[in-house]
Amino acid sequence: MKKTLLLVLSAIILCLACAAHAAGKEPPAFASVRDVLERTEGYLEIVGGEEYIVLILEEDGRYIRMAALTDDHAKDLYQAATGEDYSVSAMEAYNDYTYTLPFSYMEELDDTPMNQAELDGLKGKTVQELFDEGFGEEIINQDEIGAPVHIFLEKGLFRYEFELDHAASGDPRIMTVRSGKYYGFSRSAFDVDLQENLSGPQ
């Protein structure tokens, strides 16, 4: 499995790919994002912002969510990385610093994604039927007219990519699913009650 790092700074997205991991290991306790990057080969995604940074790690079938509050210096770096004077070096400075912040909150998530057999069972359903079954947050990607349409839908803590059969009307809600696959974590997976669960860096 590929390990992917996703850091969102408003509209800025940074992706890094890493190597496959060996199954059967217990996930160790991690001190910071940098510690996770150096010590695991599991699949992970990171969402960073001005107030916090949240990481979700999938390792050995377990899903661990970790979060840290930012301090004043991180907030200044975030403003520089997302402001009018944005530069790659400003974003790297934000990353370098926030990746060293200690985690203030950690929990194991009790949800698991749909398996491939379940996703295969959705073949032939319309997008509207998927919405009726609890999927939401459509993101559509169609490179050219007449080409297969790919749509990203979220359900619970996870995101899925579906390839749809083309429909003459162009309305994705009436298009039918050709195939589907697990794609990662949903945006709601990164929602953390900061007031209840987090305390600032010591």
The pLDDT confidence band at residue 167, using thresholds 50, 70 and 90, is low
> From CA 187, how far away is CA 191, in angstroms rounded?
7
Are 104 and 124 members of one domain? no
**pLDDT of 12 over the 50 cut:** no
As for how many domains the chain has, the answer is 2
In a domain, 202, yes or no: no
pTM of the model: 0.73
Q: Which of 14-18, 70-74, 126-130, 187-191 has the lowest mean pLDDT?
A: 14-18
> From CA 114, how far away is CA 112, in angstroms rounded?
7
**Owning domain of residue 23:** 3-110
Are 105 and 7 members of one domain? yes
**pLDDT of 9 over the 90 cut:** no
pLDDT digits (tens, 9 = 90+) for 61-108: 889 999 999 999 999 999 999 888 778 899 999 999 999 999 988 888
Are 120 and 106 members of one domain? no
> From CA 31, how far away is CA 103, in angstroms rounded?
6
Are 44 and 13 members of one domain? yes
